[in-house]
Copies of this chain bind each other. A is one copy, B any other.
Amino acid sequence: MNPIPANSTGWIDEYHQGVRYGLEGEILINEKSKFQQITLIQSKRYGKGLLLNGCWMTAEGQEKHYHECLVHPALCSAKCIDRVLIIGGGDGGTARECLRHKEIAKLDMVEIDGKVIELSKKYLPSLGGKAWQDPRLNVNIQDGISWVANSPNASYDIVIVDGSDPAGPAKGLFNKAFFKDCRRILRPNGIFATQSESPEAFREVHIDIVKTIREVFDFADPLYGWVPMYPSGWWSWTFACIDGPHYKKPILKRAEHISKECEIWSRRWQKGAFEAIPLFIERELNK
């Protein structure tokens, strides 16, 4: 866990292996929940922002870089998106982007830390937006690993893992047993999606996540984009399927509708981002 410095300098930084990324601003809330240190800040550049255990999670002015890229490659590509599961995602941004898809009938969200939801609703209302009032949203404050373990076979069209770094409460969201359960609860033609860390700042972790997902699913590929506030700014999400790389083929009509309100995501962007794999990662994955 990174320390949150006393705010005498006006800078709130995340520290990672000899690098720091800071936003100028002030701390609004800094409290310990049952699971983690939760910090909310008011920044000059990106509006209000959230840190968990001293690591940047999201900010009002930058959250679309992350949420659009986690959600739409899966939701614009799967044949059926009737039932969707989000593990984590307590700030509400992933649920908001999901619920822009009218075809979703029910969205289960399973967040371990109710305090993150409570504080996000209060301080970051634009992240969840209308999602919190959407009757299709079913919020459960409990452990996502048990939820997945206890879900029936083939019960979701889409499973999205929106957890923090593989340490603290999110650690169990990156191992083989968990991925196997995610595969088991996925319906035929379904898509699994997870954030998969930075190929630069968390190189080994990233490679390990992609390789493990490939062992469990028959098709899996990382997609590369940007989250400027995360270590190195260079981020990845990994998508997986049982029966073909459906995540690479967004459905035209759905994509056209969804991209109207997107800042980053488009069919073109998605196509490029799956190909823009740095050579050092491609070599590692082919070993």
B23 touching A19 by the CB < 8 A rule?
Answer: yes
> Which of chain B's residues has its CB closest to A22's CB?
B20
A145 within 8 A of partner (CB): no
A279 CA to B45 CA in the complex, in Å?
Answer: 21
| A233 touches which of B25, B228, B259, B262 (Cβ 8 Å) | B228
Q: Range of interface residues on chain A?
A: 35 or more
A283 to chain B, nearest CB (A): 9
A45 touching B20 by the CB < 8 A rule?
Answer: no
Within 8 A of B (CB), among A262-287: 262-266, 268-269, 271-280, 282
**Stretch of A10-18, A30-38, A161-169 at the chain-chain interface:** A10-18
A200 within 8 A of partner (CB): yes
A277 CA to B43 CA in the complex, in Å?
Answer: 27
Known: A226-B233, A263-B279, A272-B276. 8 other contacts (CB 8 A): A13-B20, A18-B45, A20-B20, A20-B22, A21-B21, A264-B278, A271-B275, A272-B272
